[in-house]
Amino acid sequence: MIKYKGIAARQFFILTFGLTIGTSILVTPSGLAHTAREDAWIASLCSLLINILMVVLYIAIARLYPGKTIFQMNELVLGKILGKAMSLIYLFYFLILTGTLLGNLGFFITSEMMPETPIEAIQILFLIAAIMCARMGIIILARVGELMFPWIVFLFMVLLLSLIPQIDWNHIKPILEDGWIPVANAGFHSSMFQELIVLMVFLPLVKGERKGEKALLWGAVAGGIVLSVTVLLSVLILGIEQTENSTFPAFALAKTINVGNFFQRVEGILITLWVLTFFIKISLLFLSILHGIKTVFRLKEQNHLIYPLSVLFIIVAWNTYINTVYVANIIQQVWASYAFLHLLVIPFGLYLIGLSRTKILKSK
């Protein structure tokens, strides 16, 4: 593996942006529309606000323990045994998340594009790309992200401009008919699917501590804005019923593009946009798991773990993404609370303990 030499702030911004969008761009509109109805776009802004607050919390923790990853912080704050146990809890969370994402990828490609292709073939093919990235390291992923980013922005702008003529502003009326409670609930639920805690593994690698913090914050903001715009367009164009009932509303949205009966059937643009950001997200998860195992078990080398982990990812994907009904129930009833524990509860606890220790040491 190429040795870590540091990530530029702009590269870290792109990684944060890609992680934030990830799979969320395809499925977020449906979940928000189910709870918040016509106010789904307001709920997406609430989700963005919650993500910003989470990033502020992560930055505060990073300042208490500069140069340390989330796995190293666990041991510093909780001690060797409890810290390792906490790190193993996070590793399990990242493992389940990676397997679920692979399952999501396979289901989307086989159901919407290549129905006769075995889902296992799609997942294994994509996992091979992630394996190559894991062998090369975070520096190469950051450079690949730089190459991808202009295309991601360009493709999103093409989608945005092509969809504007179809907007129907009546689809978002009435505003706040049921009050703020459904909007807040939907926003909170949605904010649990960006998993920005993963970036706490790579923040110490960014050249310039303050620059890395700004890149993390603005990357989350930029990704959140893209998601909010996607949700708004889904409601304005598809309407609330189709947005709520579609498995992949953003894909259905791209299918509606028709400019002058010439520029149409360009949903491949959205697929390309999604695959690029998905690759960034799953590669970051892969690398974070490798780093976590190396830290917990004090390993000198982590390359030999890549292939066994890959097999484990496939097994998890085949056993967690059973069908869309099962996954939808898990997402609606279980996942938000489970993710909340890892994204907010535990980090906030680490921050309080770390802050208390710092004040005690200063008082002495």
**Residue 270 structure tokens:** 């959205």
| In a domain? residue 222 | yes
| In a domain? residue 4 | no
Cβ-based neighbours of 315, under 8 Å, separated by 6 or more: 99
Residues 296, 302, 305, 310: is their CA dihedral positive or negative?
Answer: positive
With vertex at residue 22, the alpha carbon angle to CA 175 and CA 9, rounded to the nearest 5 degrees, is 105
Decide which of 4 and 24 is more confident: 24
pLDDT digits (tens, 9 = 90+) for 141-158: 899 888 888 888 888 888
What is the number of structural domains in the chain?
1
| In a domain? residue 2 | no
Where residue 267 sits, what CATH number does that domain have?
A: 1.20.1740.10
| In a domain? residue 29 | yes
| In a domain? residue 1 | no
Beta bridge partners of 264: 258
- The helix/strand/coil state of 52 is helix
What DSSP designation does 156 have?
H
| In a domain? residue 3 | no
Q: Residue 204, preceding bond cis, omega within 30 degrees?
A: no
| In a domain? residue 298 | yes
What DSSP designation does 247 have?
S
Residue 282 · residue 101 · CB < 8 Å: yes
**Residue 247 structure tokens:** 């498995």
Tracing tokens 């959140």 back to the chain, one arrives at 224
Task: Quote the domain boundaries for residue 220.
Answer: 9-363
Residue 155 · residue 277 · CB < 8 Å: no
Nearest alpha carbon to residue 293 among 302, 304, 285, 284:
302
pLDDT digits (tens, 9 = 90+) for 57-87: 999 998 888 888 899 898 888 888 898 999 9
pLDDT digits (tens, 9 = 90+) for 268-324: 777 777 888 888 889 999 999 999 999 888 888 888 888 899 989 888 888 877 777
- The helix/strand/coil state of 277 is helix
| In a domain? residue 338 | yes
